[in-house]
A and B are shown apart, each in its own frame.
Chain A
């Protein structure tokens, strides 16, 4: 449930692999990377690791697109893979990347997924809805907007950092 997933703890060793979903993502865009986690003491000073999500800024449009990226955590006991997603779009110069985790009880929301509610993120569990910018729609179960990712662009590629509650 927690969205602080890429704040990793001591001794964890992370392998990020990126997998794009949807036709707009070329299969060749996988760019694995490996790194050691920071010690928690250092983490407090910012804790925002940015991960490339395999999509270029120029591929973004006003229509939210889904990107998926996987975080593999190997610690002393077991390996687990946590996959994360984001809905990304561009509004003017601003890039907006939203967490797909419904703020009601954590189901995964999808853009434009329900015929009756075009132009909304729709939660399949209890009918939660959000505007394109992530604002929760009154009268549906969620009581706060979708979390938003920190975004950076490096060499034209989109990188996402931690998610923030609004």
Chain B
């Protein structure tokens, strides 16, 4: 399900089946390297959308968590943990972050939820059909991770 009005009614009917939140992590920066940064965001959107389609009935896709590329690691993590905590307390037992920004990979261990990091392919140089196919293939790779997580007990959060 998505962050849209027409989905919320469905959500309230099916609440007990929707236990997973997806948060895209999207960097922002201007004046330097913005092309790359935009590409990361665009790619992350496509990826999140496609994943949401595979798991519509069990996941809720939230709007992206955005941050300045040069924001300190500690601050970013602190803010993301707030999001995580909030959603966890409101009933999302599994929380997945999706990003193309490799910096998250470095701090992965500090995150309470599950990080899915995939290097962005360029929407500029890749033909649309090829781009879609690549996304589909990548999502095929990622899907078992969801199934695996769902078989495990959710990670407890500290208060």
A-B complex is real:
yes
User: Chain A residues in contact with chain B, CB under 8 A?
Assistant: 1, 17, 19, 21, 27, 30, 68, 70, 83, 102, 104-108, 123-126, 141
In this complex, what residue of B is CB-closest to A2?
B6
Assembly CA distance A21 to B7 (angstroms): 29
Contacts of A124 in B (CB 8 A): 54-55, 143, 146-147
- B interface size (C-beta, 8 A): 18
Assembly CA distance A126 to B56 (angstroms): 11
User: Chain B residues in contact with chain A, CB under 8 A?
Assistant: 7, 10, 14, 17, 53-58, 128-129, 132-133, 136, 143, 146-147
Sampled A-B contacts (24; CB under 8 Å):
A1-B10, A17-B129, A19-B129, A27-B129, A30-B129, A70-B132, A104-B17, A104-B57, A105-B14, A105-B17, A105-B56, A105-B57, A106-B56, A106-B57, A107-B54, A107-B57, A108-B56, A124-B55, A124-B143, A124-B146, A125-B17, A125-B57, A126-B58, A141-B17
User: Once the chains bind, are A19 and B53 in contact (CB under 8 Å)?
Assistant: no
In this complex, what residue of A is CB-closest to B7?
A1
- For the complex formed, measure the closest distance between the CB of A152 and the CB atoms of chain B, giving whole angstroms: 24
User: Once the chains bind, are B54 and A108 in contact (CB under 8 Å)?
Assistant: yes
Contacts of B17 in A (CB 8 A): 104-105, 125-126, 141
